[in-house]
Amino acid sequence: ELLRIDHVGIAVADLDEAIRFYEVNLGLRCVHQETNDEQGVREAMLAVGDGTGPRIQLLAPARPDSAIAKFIDRSGPGLQQLAYTVADVEVAADALRARGMRLLYDAPKRGTAGSRINFVHPKDAGGVLVELVEPADAVHLPGD
């Protein structure tokens, strides 16, 4: 069900400062920004190189009780999640549930740029918060 790496998510305290750091020091390009109220994050997507590969997602807390705020309080800024592209997030989530993994949501939630997302609990995935991303423009082909 996992098609490719979609993005790697990094928790940051200050989004604007982090975007500048990645653009100036690492040469990445910010290609998208939004606030996700449900998740309590301000986020930015950064393209690497020719932009065809996985992106870097910078995640800053939008409120103090959010998942990102809690992560930074506990672990400091740094790698927070690894996200895979899937064709159908419900099909992928069901397959992982059937293999005994806990998915965080019963039904998908809204992710970046109109995508549909769910997560595997990090305790069921070797200490990694695994995100499933069905992009808004996902094409459902027979056999996907």
CB 131, min distance to ligand V0V, A: 6
Which residue has the CB atom at the shortest distance from ligand V0V? 111
* CA torsion angle 17 29 72 82 (round to 10): 180
- 84 is a site residue for ligand V0V (CB under 6 A): no
- 59 is a site residue for ligand V0V (CB under 6 A): yes
Contact predicate 72/66, CB 8 Å: no
HSE on the CB side for 140, CA within 13 Å?
6
Interface segment toward ligand V0V; rule CB under 6 A; list 14-22, 25-33, 47-55, 74-82: 74-82
- 127 is a site residue for ligand V0V (CB under 6 A): yes
CB 142, min distance to ligand V0V, A: 27
CB 82, min distance to ligand V0V, A: 9
- Nearer CB in complex with ligand V0V: 64/142: 64
Q: In what order do the strands lie in the sheet with 130-134?
A: 29-36, 41-47, 55-61, 2-11, 78-86, 130-134, 116-120, 109-110
Helix, strand, or coil here: 100? coil
HSE on the CB side for 25, CA within 13 Å?
6
Interface segment toward ligand V0V; rule CB under 6 A; list 15-23, 25-33, 93-101, 119-127: 119-127
Q: What is the contact surface with ligand V0V in residues (CB under 6 A)?
A: 9, 36, 39, 41, 43, 57, 59, 67-68, 70-71, 74, 80-81, 83, 104, 111-112, 115, 117, 119, 122-123, 127, 129, 131
